[in-house]
C-alpha cells in the first residue's frame, strides 16, 4: 500500500478509525509520553457550529465528565485545536460483548448474571447522576483485559435539562431491536424505564444467543415490541424467566424498576457491589473548549507524519474479540451491528472494485479515495440516506482486512444492506482451513 499521513495531536499519535458518525470520528491513539493506548473522539468545530449542535456536544462532554464508575468508559481529558475538538477516552482491549456472544454463542446463566449485574450497576449509577443512556445494546458494552464490563457511547444520552414539564423525555432514538415501546410511541417516556427495557433485551440475548424481537419488516418488529411478543428458551431458569418478563413489560407503569431489579433474588446471587471513589466533578472547562484562544492551555497543534498504511498487531487485535483472532474468519450471529469485517487475499484495488460492483445494483453510489470506498444510499431511510465507509488494511504481505462500517443512517438498514450484498462478495472473502486459521 502507499504511504498515508499519520497525525499527532498534542501528545497522542492517532491510528486507525474505530467508528464514524455524522459529526465525529473515533480513532485509536497512543500517548507518546506514557505509551498508554486511548480512543479519541474527534469533532469538526465548523460542522458543530453550522448545525447548531453546540448544546448537544456540550451535553455529551458533560455527561462523560460526570460519570466516574468502574463499569463506564472513562473520559480523561478534552482538547481543542482551531478546527477540531478532541475527547480522550479510555480504550479497552477485550472487544465488544457482542463479539463474545458471536464467537462462542450464548453464555451460561451464572456468567450472564455477572455481566448483567455490572450493567445494572453502571446504568443505575448513571441514573443517580441524572444521565440516561438511551442506546444501550451489545455493541455499546465493551470488555477490558480482565473481562470487566464497560458501558460506552453516550452520544445519545440525555441530561436532566432535556426533561420537559411533564417529567418525560421526548426524543425518539436508539436501535430498533433494543428500544422500549413507549419510545417508539413518541408520546414521552421515562429515561430510566426505557434504559431498563434495553437492559432486559441484553440479558435475553446473552442468555439465549439471539434477539427477543426480530423481523425484517420494521413495522412488524414494532408490533412485536408493543405486545412484548417473545418466548424464553427452555434452558432459562424459572427465576430468570420471571425477571426478564417483568423487565420486558410493555407498560412502563407496571414495568419493574431498577431498585426492584437490584433486590431480585436471581439478580442478588453472587452479587458484589463495585467499590470506587467518588469525586466532585467540575464542568467549568467544557465551555472553554468551544472558545479557545492562542493563550489557552487546551489548544493543541496537529502534526502530520508520513508512514505506511498498514495495521500493526495491536490494532488488529483491537478489532477482534480480545486476543482471539478467529472471530475475523467466522460468520457472525444474527444480531444488529454497525460494522463488519472480513479478510481477503485479493489486492486492495480489486477488493474495492468488486465491492463497488456489488453495491450499485442495491441503489448505492460509490466514490473511491485511496484505500477507502464511500458507499452512499440514493434513498432516504429512517435516519436519512445510509452512508457506509469501506476501508482496506494490510495485515500481512498477502492478506488484507476489509472493514465496512456505517457512517450515517440506520443500523438496521446497514445490516440489511450487508446481507443483501453478501452473495456478491463470496469470491472476495478468504475462508481459511482450520489449519491455516490456527497458524494466524
What is the per-residue DSSP string for 181-246?
HHHHHTS-B-HHHHHHHHHHHHHHHHHHSS-SS--SSHHHHHHHHHTT-----TTS-HHHHHHHHH
Residue numbers in the known binding site for ATP are 41
Which three-class secondary structure state does DSSP give residue 390?
A: strand
First and final CA of the chain: distance in angstroms?
A: 21
- Cα-based angle 379, 382, 385 (whole degrees, multiple of 5): 35
Nearest Cα residue to 391 out of 339, 331, 333: 339
Residue numbers in the known binding site are 41
Q: Kindly give the pairing relationship between strand 141-143 and strand 149-151.
A: antiparallel
How far apart CA 410 and CA 192 sit, in angstroms, is: 23
Catalytic residue list contains 135: yes
Burial of 218 (C-beta count, 10 Å sphere; 0-12/13-18/19+)? middle
Cα torsion angle, 321, 323, 328, 333, sign: negative
Looking at beta carbons, which pairs linking 394-397 to residues 24 or more positions away fall under 8 Å?
Answer: 394/1, 394/309, 394/310, 394/311, 394/348, 395/310, 395/311, 395/316, 395/343
Q: How many residues does the chain have?
A: 440
DSSP class of residue 138 equals: G
Three-class SS of 322-364: CCEHHHHHCCCCCCCCCEEEEEECCCHHHHHHHHHHHHHHHCE
Annotated active-site residue in 99, 110, 124, 135: 135
Nearest Cα residue to 281 out of 86, 67, 439: 67
Cα torsion angle, 77, 79, 85, 88, sign: negative
* Dihedral Cα 127, 201, 220, 334, nearest 10 deg: 130
* H or E element that contains 306: strand 302-308
Q: Which residues are catalytic?
A: 135
Amino acid at each position: 500500500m502507499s504511504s498515508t499521513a499519520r497525525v499527532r495531536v498534542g501528545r497522542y499519535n492517532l491510528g486507525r478509525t474505530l467508528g464514524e458518525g455524522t459529526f465525529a470520528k473515533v480513532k485509536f491513539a497512543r500517548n507518546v509520553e506514557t505509551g498508554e493506548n486511548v480512543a479519541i473522539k474527534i469533532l469538526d468545530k465548523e460542522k458543530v457550529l453550522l448545525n447548531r449542535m453546540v448544546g448537544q456536544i456540550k451535553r455529551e462532554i458533560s455527561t462523560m465528565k460526570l460519570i466516574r464508575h468502574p463499569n463506564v468508559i472513562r473520559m480523561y481529558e478534552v482538547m481543542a485545536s482551531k478546527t477540531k475538538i478532541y475527547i480522550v477516552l479510555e480504550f479497552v482491549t477485550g472487544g465488544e460483548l457482542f463479539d463474545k456472544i458471536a464467537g462462542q454463542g450464548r453464555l451460561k446463566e451464572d456468567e450472564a448474571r455477572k455481566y448483567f449485574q455490572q450493567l445494572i450497576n453502571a446504568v443505575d449509577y448513571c441514573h443517580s447522576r441524572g444521565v440516561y443512556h438511551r442506546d444501550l445494546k451489545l455493541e455499546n458494552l465493551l470488555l477490558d483485559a480482565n473481562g470487566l464490563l464497560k458501558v460506552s457511547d453516550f452520544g445519545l444520552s440525555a441530561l436532566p435539562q432535556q426533561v420537559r414539564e411533564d417529567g418525560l423525555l421526548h426524543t425518539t432514538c436508539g436501535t430498533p431491536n433494543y428500544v422500549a415501546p413507549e419510545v417508539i410511541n413518541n408520546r414521552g417516556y421515562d429515561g430510566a424505564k426505557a434504559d431498563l427495557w434495553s437492559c432486559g433485551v441484553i440479558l435475553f440475548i446473552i442468555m439465549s444467543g439471539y434477539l427477543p424481537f426480530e423481523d425484517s419488516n420494521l413495522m412488524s418488529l414494532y408490533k412485536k415490541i408493543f405486545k412484548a411478543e417473545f418466548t424464553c428458551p427452555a434452558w432459562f431458569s424459572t427465576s430468570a424467566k420471571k425477571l426478564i418478563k417483568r423487565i420486558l413489560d410493555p407498560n412502563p407503569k407496571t414495568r419493574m424498576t431498577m431498585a426492584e431489579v437490584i433486590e431480585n433474588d436471581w439478580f442478588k446471587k453472587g452479587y458484589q457491589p463495585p467499590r470506587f471513589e467518588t469525586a466532585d466533578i467540575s464542568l467549568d472547562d467544557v465551555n472553554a473548549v468551544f472558545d479557545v484562544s492562542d493563550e489557552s492551555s487546551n489548544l493543541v497543534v496537529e502534526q502530520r507524519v508520513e508512514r505506511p498504511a498498514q495495521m500493526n498487531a495491536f490494532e488488529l487485535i483491537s478489532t477482534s474479540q480480545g486476543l482471539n483472532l478467529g472471530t475475523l474468519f467466522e460468520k457472525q450471529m444474527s444480531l444488529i451491528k454497525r460494522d463488519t469485517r472480513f479478510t481477503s487475499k485479493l489486492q486492495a484495488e480489486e477488493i474495492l472494485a468488486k465491492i463497488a460492483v456489488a453495491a450499485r445494483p442495491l441503489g448505492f453510489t460509490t466514490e473511491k479515495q485511496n484505500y477507502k470506498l464511500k458507499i452512499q444510499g440514493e434513498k432516504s431511510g429512517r435516519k436519512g440516506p445510509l452512508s457506509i465507509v469501506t476501508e482496506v488494511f494490510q495485515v500481512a504481505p498477502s492478506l488484507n482486512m476489509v472493514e465496512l462500517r456505517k457512517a450515517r443512517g440506520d443500523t438496521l438498514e446497514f445490516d440489511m444492506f450487508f446481507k443483501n450484498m453478501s452473495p456478491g462478495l463470496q469470491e472476495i472473502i478468504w475462508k481459511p482451513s482450520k489449519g491455516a486459521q490456527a497458524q494466524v
